[in-house]
Structure 1
Amino acid sequence: MIRVGIDVGGTNTDAVVMRGREVLCGLKTPTTADVIGGVAQALRDVVAGAGVARTQIGAVMIGTTHFTNALVERRKLSRVGVLRLALPATRGLPPGSDWPEDFQAAVEMHWRLAHGGYEYDGRPLGTPDPAEILGHARAFADLGLKDIAVSGAFSILNDAQETAAAELIRQVIPDARLTLSSQIGRLGLLERENAAILNACLGPLGLEVIAAFRQALAESGITAPFYLTQNDGTLMAAEQAARFPILTVASGPTNSMRGAAFLSGEKNAIVVDIGGTTSDVGVLQGGFPRQAGVAVEVGGVRTNFRMPDVYSIGLGGGSLVASDFGSLGPQSVGYAIHSKALVFGGGTLTATDIAVAAGVARLGDPTRVADLPWNGVRTCYELLQLMVFNAVERMRTSAEPLPVIVVGGGSILLGDELRGQPVTTPPHFGCANAVGAAMAQVSGEVDRVMDLDKFSREEAIAIVREAAETRAVAAGAARDTLAVIDVEDVPLAYIGGNATRIRVRVVGDLNEQATKGGSA
C-alpha cells in the first residue's frame, strides 16, 4: 500500500510518499497561515515528485500542531460545561481550580457537582440522582453550552456512572459534544478531569480542522481515508480525532521518534530532533517513545493521558548567538534563517553559522563566517555540544549504552559525534517526522483492576490483553499483526484482598482492507 505522511510544523509542512518501507519522495513546504493551503500544496508536490497516481494512494497520515497551538496560545477555545460525579466528596476543590490564571480567563467554564463516583475499591462513593443530573443539564442548556466534560471519582475503574450521566445530558441537549474522562485519562481525578475539559475546549476546532483536512485532500484529488497521529505514536481515524483532539497534542515529537526508529532500524535508542528553534530529546523503547510516568502539563494544565517523555531545550538551527560567544538561544530567527543567518547573506549570527565556521556543517557561503574569531567559535560550539549532551544524559535512566539518533533539519549542527560519542544521522533525516506519521500503527490499550483471588495472574493479564486487542481491531488494526508492547502489573496494597492493576497496550499494522471503503 502506498501511504502519504504529513507533519504540520510551525515553520515547515513535511511530506513523504512511501511504498511499503521505501521512501519514494520527501519534501518540505512552508507552513501557511491557514495551514490547510500548505497541506494541499505539500500533497500536490510530494505526489508529483513520487510519480504515483492519486488513485494509488491507500491512506494519508497527518500529524498536526493545530491543537497544541490553540492550547498554548489560548485561542479558538470553546465555552465548556463540566459535570463532576463525586459528591459528597471533592467539594473543596472544584474543576479548573489548579489551572493557570490566564487559562481560566481564556476559557468560559461552567461547572456543576453531582452525587456519584466510586471509592478506590470500586464501591459507590455516592448514588447518582437522575433528577439532579437533569437539572444540571438544563442549566447547561440555558447557557447555550454544547461542549461538556463529564468526570467521576475513580471512573477509570468503572465508567457506568459517567456513561449514564452522558445519556441524561443528551436527553436535554441532543447535539451536545460530550467528553467522558474515562475515555481519555488514567487514575487521578483532577488530572483526568483536566484532560477531559481540555478536550471539550477543543471540540469545535476539532471539527473545523478535520473538515479542512478533508477539503485539502479533496482539492488534491485524493480520495483515500486519512488518519491523525496520536501522542503515543499510533493512528486514529479522522472521526475519532474530531472527537478526541487532545490525544494529538504531542504527536510532533512522537512522529520524529517513530520516524527515527524506522529510518535507523534501531528499536532502543535516544532520539534528538533538532529544529529551527528547539531540540526535543526522547527515548525509544521497542520502537515506540517512552511514555511519561508522571502528570504532564499541557498549556500549563496538569493531565495524565498518554504522553511521550520528552525533554526540550531552546536550541535549534536558528538560535541566536551572544556577541561574546558565551551563550546561544533560546531566542531564534526560526523560519527566517534562510534570510537572516550570516551564511545565507543575512546579518544575524546563529547556531548554524557557528556550525559552518567550526567546519561541522557545509551549507550556504562559508566565506561569510571565515573572519569570526576562532576562540569564540570553538567556545560557542563546545557549549552547543554540551547543551545537547546534557539533554541526552538527562533522559538516560540506566548505564546501558544506547545509540543516539539525530534527526530534524537542524541535525547538521552536530555532525557525526556528540562530545566524542558517535551519533547516527539516518537518510531522510530532515523529514523523519513525516516518515513517522506514514509508518504509524494502530493501538489498543486497556487499564483494569483485577482480583487475583478469582483469576491467576496469567489469566488476568490474558483477559486484559484480549480486551486491548479487541479495542485495537475496532480502531482499524489488522488482527494478525497485533503485538503486545507494554504490560504493567501493579499490586494495589491499599485495597483489601488480592487486587492488582493491569494495563496492556498492543499495536498492529493498519488493516489495508479497512482503507478501501472510502474516507475515514
Structure 2
Amino acid sequence: MRIGIDVGGTNTDAVLMDGSTVAAAVKRSTSQDVTSGIVAALAGLREQRDFGSADVDGVMIGTTHFINALIEARGLAPTAAVRLGLPATASLPPFTDWPAHLVGAVQARAFLAHGGHEFDGRVISELDPDELKRHAAAIAAAGIRSVAISSVFSPINDEFEQRAQEILAAELGPDVAFSLSSEIGRIGLLERENATIINAALRELADGIVDGLSASVSSSGIEAPLFLSQNDGTLMDVEYARRYPVATFASGPTNSMRGAAVLSGFDTCAVVDVGGTTSDVGVLTGGFPREATGEVAVAGIRTNFRMPDVLSIGIGGGSRIREDGALVGPDSVGYRLTQEGLVFGGDTLTATDVAVRGGRGVIGDASRVRGVPAEVAERALAVIADRVADVVERMRTSSAPLPVVAVGGGSVLLPDELPGLGTVHRPEHYSVANAIGAAIAQVSGEVDKVYAISDGKRASVVDEARQEAVDRAVAAGADPSSVAIVDFDEVPIPYLPGNATRIRAKAVGDLALGALVR
C-alpha cells in the first residue's frame, strides 16, 4: 500500500491506496507549522483503516512549503550568483529583473567570470581559475552560504559549471552549498539562471523542511521511504529534494491533475482544482499535465524549469464574499475557514457559505446561513461559474470538445454545467484527488538540448536523446521494464548554423521502491 499526502493552503489531504483502490481518505485543516497537520491526517487514515508500518511501501507528499517561502521571502539563504560567459552576457548581470524585496531577502551578490560555450560546443572563453578564486574570497567575506553557478549553454556542455564548482568549493569549504543551472533549467540563460538562484536560496530551508516531513511520518509509526512530488507529476526522493527544492513548486495542481486522470478515466481534459484559497485550471494531455512551453513567472521572477501550464484565480472555498455577492475573493480566510465561515459558527461570509445556501453541498451547520438572501448566494455562485468558465476557455488550444473534470474539496462551488463548456464531471473521491495523484505518481527523466544534426544523422541523434531520457528515468528510480517516452518535441532553429535542432524528450516509468539511488 501507498500513502499520498497533499499539503494545501487550507487543507491537508491524505489517502491510503491499496493498488489502485482508495482504502481510506481524510481531509484535515492545514496547521500553521504544516507538519502537525500531516500527523493529524495520518491519524485520520488509521481511524478509517488500521495498518502497520510493514503494510506501507512508500509515502508520497506534495507540499507548498518551498513556493510559500519564496513568495513570503522568508527563510532564504544569503546567495551568490556566479555566471560564466565573459566577455559575453555582461550587459544584463544576474538579478537584473528580480523584485527588490527578494534581492534583499537573499542578500544578493552577483559575479561575472570567463567561460561558457556556444550551442555547438565551441568555447566562448576559457575558464580562469584565478578569477574564480578572487570571487570566492569576496563570497566568503560577504558571509554567503549558497552559490548558484550558471554558464552559457550549459545544458549542452556542463564542463565549465562542474569545474567552477570544484574550484569554488576548494576555496569556500564544505559548508557552502552549490546549485548548477545545467541540472535545473532549460535553454535560455537568464531564466535558467533565475531558477538556479531560487534553488540555491532554498537549499538551507530544504534541509529543515525535509527533516520535518520525515519526522512527521516516522512519529506516526511509519518507516516506509518518503518521496516528494515534482512539478511534472513525478516523484523524487528526499535527498534529491534537499538538492532541488525548486522542483516542488507546482506539485499541488500537478497532483490534482494526475489524480483527476486516474479517477475520471479521461486522459485528455481540462481539470479545475478548487481548493480553499485558489482554483487552478490545467489541461491533461495523454494523462500528464500540459507543460508550459515558455517562461513561467514565479513570485515575479522569470524562470524556465519544468512547470505545468496552469492558470490560477483567487476563488476557493474560503474566498470572502462582498458587495451582495458581486465580488468573490481574491482574498480568503484560508485554513481558518472552519473558524471564520458562517456554517462553522464564524462571522465571515465565504464561498462555502453561499454554496451551502444555494444547496450545492452539506457542510457545517446549514441553519447558520438561512439569513443570507437567496439572491446573494445565486449572484455569487454565478460569478464563480463565469470566472472559472472563462479561465477554462483561455486554456483551450483548439475548438475540439474538451471535457471538464472538477476536483478538490471546493469544487462544490461549481454548477453541474459550466457556461459554454457543458457537463462538469466530478469523479468519486474528487475531494482528495490531489493526494491520490501523489500516491500514484511515477518517476521521470528528461532531456532538453540543442543538437547540430549533420546530413543523414537525424535518426541516430533522435535515438540518442530518447535513450538518454530513458536512462535518466531509470537512474531516478524507475523500473526499467516500465519506462516509456511520453513526450517528444523536435524543433529546428533556423537562425543558428549547422542544422541546429532543439530536442526535448521525456520518459516516465513506475517507481521501483528500494531501487532509488542518487
Equivalence for 1:146: 145
Once the two structures are TM-superposed, the CA of residue 73 in structure 1 deviates from its matched residue by 0.3
CA distance in 1, matches of 2:452, 2:127: 26
Which digits, 9 at most, give the CA deviation of each residue in 1:149-194, with x for residues without a partner?
Answer: 1011111221111111111112112313110111111111111111
User: Are 2:86 and 1:87 aligned?
Assistant: yes
1:414/1:148 Cα in 2 relative to 1: closer, same or farther (>3 Å)?
same
Whether 1:507 aligns to 2:491 is: no
Report the residue type matching 2:156 in the other structure: L
TM-score (norm 1): 0.95
The question of whether the paired residues in 2 share the 8 Å contact of 1:18 and 1:25 is answered with yes
Q: Which amino acid aligns with 2:195?
A: A
Structure 2: segments with no counterpart, 5+ residues: none
Q: Which residue matches 2:126?
A: 127
Q: In the aligned structure 1, how far is the partner of 2:336 from the partner of 2:205?
A: 28
Give the TM-score normalised by structure 2: 0.95
1:151-300 to 2 correspondences below 5 Å: 151-175=150-174, 176-300=176-300
Whether the aligned pair in 1 keeps the contact of 2:30 and 2:37 (CA below 8 Å) is yes
2-side partners of 1:101 and 1:399: how far apart? 42
How far does residue 494 in structure 1 lie from its aligned partner after superposition?
A: 1.7
Contiguous gaps of at least 5 residues in structure 1: none
Aligned partner of 1:319 in structure 2 is 319
Tell me what 1:22 maps to. 21
The one-letter code sitting in structure 2 at the alignment partner of 1:53 is G
Q: Secondary structure at the match of 1:320?
A: strand
Counterpart of 1:238, as a letter, is V
Distance 1:174 1:509, change over 3 A: same
Give the Å deviation of 1:455.
5.0
Question: Counterpart amino acid of 1:426?
Answer: P
CA distance in 2, matches of 1:143, 1:331: 39
SS at match of 1:169: helix
Query: 5 Å matches for 1:375-394?
Result: 375-394=375-394
Report the residue type matching 1:510 in the other structure.
Answer: L
In the TM superposition, structure 1's runs of 4+ consecutive aligned residues that sit over 6 Å from their partners are: none
* Structure 1 residue 214, shift from structure 2 partner: 2.0
Report the Cα offset of residue 414 of structure 1: 1.4
Structure 2: distance between partners of 1:219 and 1:354? 39
C-alpha contact 1:484 1:507 (8 A) present in aligned 2:
yes
- C-alpha contact (below 8 Å) 2:195/2:246 kept by paired residues: yes
- Aligned to 2:323, the other structure's residue is in SS state coil
One-letter amino acid matched to 2:125: G
Residue 433 of structure 1 corresponds to which residue in structure 2? 434
Deviates more, 1:51-60 or 1:304-313: 51-60
Q: CA deviation at 1:513?
A: 4.7
Aligned 8 A contact 1:146 1:173 in 2 = no
Q: Any idea what SS the aligned residue of 1:324 has?
A: helix
Matched, 1:447 2:448: yes
Q: Tell me the residue number matched to 1:456.
A: 457
Letter of the 1:6 counterpart: I
Answer with 85-94 or 455-464: which moved more: 455-464
Of 138-147 and 263-272, deviating more is 138-147
Shift of 1:18: 0.6
Cα distance, 1:30–1:343 mapped onto 2, change above 3 Å: closer
RMSD of aligned residue pairs (Cα, Å): 1.8
2:236, 2:282 → 1: CA distance? 22
Q: CA deviation at 1:248?
A: 0.5
Percent identity over the alignment is: 51
**Alignment partners' CA distance in 1, 2:351 and 2:218:** 40
Contact map agreement 1:361 1:415 (CA 8 A) in 2: no
Q: Is the 8 A contact 1:17 1:47 kept in 2?
A: no
Q: Deviations over 1:185-210 (max 9, x none)?
A: 11111111111110010011111111
Equivalent position of 1:110 in the other structure: 109
Structure 1 residue 331 displacement after superposition: 2.2
AA of the residue aligned to 1:397: T
